[in-house]
Structure 1
């Protein structure tokens, strides 16, 4: 039976990076003899928000499990909070997270290599530089890749000039350096992607925080948003903040007003919209391409014709292969958005589900939650939050749970939410990376 959750509940969750289990409403059973003696090999492909979480929590609930986490990067840079770096009030290095805690505190084998192929019949992960990794169960958390076939004029190589900054680390540094080099009075064009994509409010937070940087350093500059959509997450709250803090510095053009990008010219930084008839010149262009599940999921045949991975939304078991679980941005997860908090909750749910399956114990099947903070300035923020449960064959938002920050609050309320945002980031990344 669904129950209601208060705003205070979500603030408590934000402080713990938690699931609904953190509120004491549901949770894992105490460590049983069966789980304490459980010995199986589980491979986790992808060490981002979802993969790191599931690896850690598998060990929490069954310490003798042999967990191998396969991740090419020795330091994982989060995409979330990257806009804070673009806004000039967070160092990029503080968004990087290593894997020593997962190795040393939790006893997880971490292999820094790229998973090239999944031998699902032979239950092996084939990597670029290591011998094949055998498993009894496989968790795939490949994140996103970009669908370049849907972008005319831009490919992977062109992102050195037209950065997407939608995967952490270097792409963010490229975009920040371009903003710093731009002349005052220039135009920054931000092109959000078509839905679905990672972090639905992210492009609009980015427009605001780029404007925050420009207001301080290049006050005659402009931010132009060219959007293939007519609406977006937290739209009213964003527009209120844009107008209050930046006046006419930000212009957003929806698809219905001719804002949908049709093609790009990388060499001269031009975006063509409105059937290609309108040309927009940018000094800096941030084009965020359409997205799909990470490449290895495609090579392994784990995607459907949407480019994403269909799963049993109660367990996150792949609908394409029985011994595979898929979590994070790559999974088709009903009403759950593609977000860091969703990925973290999915990792916890799958850890409990998988251990229950291996021991024959019932899975707790607890509800999951998403909380997302968006900043319009370092001292101006708002949130969206929701509880989700599996009902009638899919993940659905619990009616009346969570919701948006109120629209009629003033600056002091927004300042308080801005104080919570970095605390949420620190707590949830600590929960993921140990």
Structure 2
């Protein structure tokens, strides 16, 4: 019997990559041949984790070079301009990435993709294989009943919503999708037409170009329930866990472990894998806040730099699953991967969102009572008092610990793998039953 081949395509930061590695490993453990289609920079990490991987995009350096900007300028552009990422990073290589993915997906039985992997639905339709959409964060359903909290969506009515509020949100989101179709639909359709496919009326990024046969929300129902208006079939899996630095089994650096053992629980500060390029001030403010509170701190800065004092430990990266449980409190940007790991650790959080879905996660963390949030501009002046509030009010720690136990028990990778295999079996039975009899 042929070993099923499932291709999983994702583009983005570690928050976009790690769930896909976790799901691929769960599929591999179930006898599937998974292949990850990722940017060139992530290929070695995927292979080190034990999963076959091929390049869907060239290196980030090559993509960045085409913009004429350095890393810091690119990050600042993405923060300041919501369309920059689509205009200058995702769409220019779409024709090439579609050709690459067609080669990678040859002989595949199923194609799984994230919102940024614009080639995935095109290739699935071209090869006539089922497409599965991975929804990495709650706001990406763009639900009128559970509207996103993010720049560009200020006109949306906030819960609790009645019929009028929900109807208004449906109108606003429809207008947003119409603008995305107007702005980007033609460029996506040129690639579709080059592969003999009909034009799509989907809103790029906000909707897959090919209707998925299944949509999986790969986050905890603690963070958000599955929206009642989500396209069916759809389900939540919980968070798929993976946080190795290089693909090898996770472990703490000996120097970091020694620092943790030498004193009381520190503040732990992380801006994920993307924002550190443009956030040196944020880390300086974090160190100053720790000193003001008389606390130690660990700064995950994306690059190794010298610590400012014996109470400040600076390192490029550490597995969040091992480090975050050692925190007094966690200060982070609200990326979905970091948010999941902070919830899992069961520690109070201060969320400082910079862009996109981070604002939505900050709002949700505040609503479920495990943290507070502020803006990057106000962080330097009010960060210390907010952290003090997190530590002084036991309700935050109690709620975080209770929710942490629940989230830590989730196995989103296994659930996602089972859902994919179930779809594969159903698809196979359908193909067999639809064959003409001899």
| TM norm structure 2 | 0.27
* Structure having the larger proportion of residues in helix: 2
